[in-house]
A and B are shown apart, each in its own frame.
Chain A
Amino acid sequence: KQEVTQIPAALSVPEGENLVLNCSFTDSAIYNLQWFRQDPGKGLTSLLLIQSSQREQTSGRLNASLDKSSGRSTLYIAASQPGDSATYLCAVSGDSWGKLQFGAGTQVVVTP
């Protein structure tokens, strides 16, 4: 059974620092991996999708890498801003049928 772990569980950084969020999964036979952002009491916003054949994806200040063989993905957020404060979730899909297995998330606070 796939298990997804996110470390650290919480992170507080001053504005301007780079953020590094880690996600690991036990079964490397994934179809894709997706990073989401969740604001308190809200739904999820998709940040980046990495197909299993890809090594990284970039969008603006966000960069996500994927090492399928070692079961790891890392989300980098450059030059953090207070608006980046949220919970970041990674999720893996084992096939094309869309079922996602989520990690517990990393709660990020960026202080001005």
Chain B
Amino acid sequence: SAVISQKPSRDICQRGTSLTIQCQVDSQVTMMFWYRQQPGQSLTLIATANQGSEATYESGFVIDKFPISRPNLTFSTLTVSNMSPEDSSIYLCSVELASGSRDEQFFGPGTRLTVL
């Protein structure tokens, strides 16, 4: 398994500001993922972040709004830019670990964001 930490664990932000969320993994991984979980909803994939290349965004998510960095194989950041109350969600990072033919995903504890 993998131990994943996220900072901050929660934050309350003002409309129009930006927040950068950090994700740290205890082992080197190729792929990291960022998900959003809006209140009462399930998880939706925002983007896939591979080291050394630009992040790949899912439909409905754009780089200007959710810029992502992946400077090395154990760390990634997600920025939520120009926030509005609709951005209030839990943001989770995850990693995929391969063991033989098994590709299992592990998640961080999440960052609970409230935008006023």
A residues near B, CB below 8 A? Answer: 31-32, 34, 36, 41-46, 49, 51, 89, 91, 93, 96-100, 102-105
B64 at the interface (CB under 8 A from A): no
* Interface residues on chain B, number (Cβ under 8 Å): 26
Is chain A's binding surface mostly helix, strand, loop or mixed? Answer: strand
Chain B residues whose C-beta falls within 8 Å of the C-beta of A34 in the assembled complex = 104-105
List 17 additional A-B contacts (Cβ < 8 Å) besides A43-B4, A96-B103, A103-B42.
Answer: A41-B110, A42-B110, A44-B43, A44-B92, A44-B94, A44-B107, A46-B1, A46-B105, A46-B106, A51-B101, A51-B102, A93-B105, A98-B103, A100-B94, A102-B43, A104-B42, A105-B42
B residues near A, CB below 8 A? Answer: 1, 4, 6, 31, 33, 41-45, 48, 90, 92, 94, 96, 101-110, 112
- If A51-B101, A98-B103 touch, does A104 touch B110 (CB 8 Å cutoff)? no
- If A43-B92, A104-B41, A105-B42 touch, does A99 touch B107 (CB 8 Å cutoff)? no
